[in-house]
């Protein structure tokens, strides 16, 4: 079978996006969008809209499970979300995060968790956070045949160690970040998320790597951009990180629909004749 080489976004691929397609897109200088998804309807919508990569992020911690951050999320909580996203998509490459505590003990634990997630969810790849300390885990998992997306810069699972939500890659940190990204590519990662890093460092990493860089708060000079879908669509309430742009007001739309329903029930105008069986 020949390898279709249509654009990642806007092209009409008749199969799932592969890690090879992502590399080809980088070679072509193509930019592409990525979103998180944790459920059936968003997965269906994003897939139909042509988003080439969907991440079942451990941001489920603070966007699905009502925790303050991602630290408490477990593998058992990730698996049903990832299964739903895989079942609801036919084109997107689906990536599942390894949650905190499920890989930090080293390559064997990381491999065991990755195998479980691949077998029990049907995702096409895993992602986990960290720079040089996780390079050997990346190598071990990739050697076992599992594609790995890396994640450096601000790594939310280490929020306590990093002292809060802070931009990474400033000053002397820049060289370490670039070195980490290069080492992760050398270990076999197929892409790397750069979260909250200076645009200069992100641009330098993007130039030096042959795998795609995916920015979130990393400026414009990266290969792809990712946002948590509830941020992108305006479902979340409260102060937003500077890197978020809201493309909708789902919270407003859902609030209006909820109030209209409640008012109709109270006034007796729902259900009307057309909603009633005879």
Which tokens go with 68?
A: 């303050």
- Determine if residue 76 is labeled as part of a ligand binding site: no
Nearest distance, CB of residue 274 and ligand KIV, angstroms: 42
Footprint of ligand KIV on 81-140 (CB under 6 A): 97
- Determine if residue 221 is labeled as part of a ligand binding site: no
Please choose, out of 5-13, 57-65, 197-205, 270-278, the segment that lies near ligand KIV by the rule CB under 6 A. Answer: 57-65
Long-range (24+ apart) CB contacts under 8 A made by 18-21 are 18/93, 18/124, 19/93, 19/124, 19/125, 19/147, 19/190, 19/191, 21/52, 21/93
Place of tokens 């036919």: 90
**Would residue 85 be called left, alpha or beta, if left means φ above 0 and alpha means ψ between -120 and 50 degrees?**
alpha
Q: Which of 30, 179, 186, 195 is catalytic?
A: 195
Nearest distance, CB of residue 214 and ligand KIV, angstroms: 7
Comparing every residue's Cβ against ligand KIV, the nearest one is 57
Residue 36 binds ligand KIV (CB under 6 A): yes
Residue from 30, 58, 204, 223 binding ligand KIV (CB under 6 A): 58
Q: How far apart are CA 133 and CA 138, in angstroms?
A: 10
Nearer CB in complex with ligand KIV: 11/64: 64
Host H or E run for residue 149: strand 148-153
Q: How far apart are CA 57 and CA 100, in angstroms?
A: 12
To the query of whether residue 195 is one of the catalytic residues in this protein, the response is yes
Contact positions toward ligand KIV, by CB under 6 A? 36, 55, 57-59, 97, 151, 193, 216, 226, 228
């Amino acid at each position: 079978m020949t390898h279709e080489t249509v654009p990642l976004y806007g092209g009409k691929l008749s199969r799932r996006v592969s890690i090879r397609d992502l590399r080809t897109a980088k070679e072509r200088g193509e930019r592409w969008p990525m979103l998180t998804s944790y459920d059936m309807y968003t997965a269906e919508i994003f897939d139909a809209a042509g988003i080439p990569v969907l991440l079942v992020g451990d941001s489920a911690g603070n966007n699905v499970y009502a925790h303050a951050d991602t630290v408490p999320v477990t593998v058992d909580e990730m698996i049903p979300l990832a299964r739903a996203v895989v079942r609801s998509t036919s084109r997107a490459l689906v990536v599942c995060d390894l949650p905190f505590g499920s890989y930090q003990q080293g390559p064997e634990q990381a491999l065991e968790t990755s195998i479980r997630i691949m077998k029990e969810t049907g995702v096409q790849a895993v992602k986990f956070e960290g720079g040089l300390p996780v390079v050997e885990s990346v190598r071990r998992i990739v050697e076992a045949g599992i594609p790995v997306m890396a994640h450096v810069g601000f790594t939310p699972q280490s929020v306590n160690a990093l002292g809060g939500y802070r931009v990474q890659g400033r000053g002397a940190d820049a060289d370490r970040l670039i070195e980490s990204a290069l080492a992760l590519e050398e270990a076999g990662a197929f892409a790397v998320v750069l979260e909250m890093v200076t645009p200069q460092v992100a641009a330098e990493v993007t130039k030096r790597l042959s795998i795609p860089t995916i920015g979130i708060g990393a400026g414009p000079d990266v290969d792809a951009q990712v946002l948590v879908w509830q941020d992108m669509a305006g479902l979340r309430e409260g102060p937003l990180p500077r890197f978020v742009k809201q493309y909708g007001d789902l919270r407003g739309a859902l609030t209006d629909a909820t109030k209209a329903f409640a008012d109709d029930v109270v006034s007796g105008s729902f259900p009307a004749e057309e909603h009633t069986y005879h």
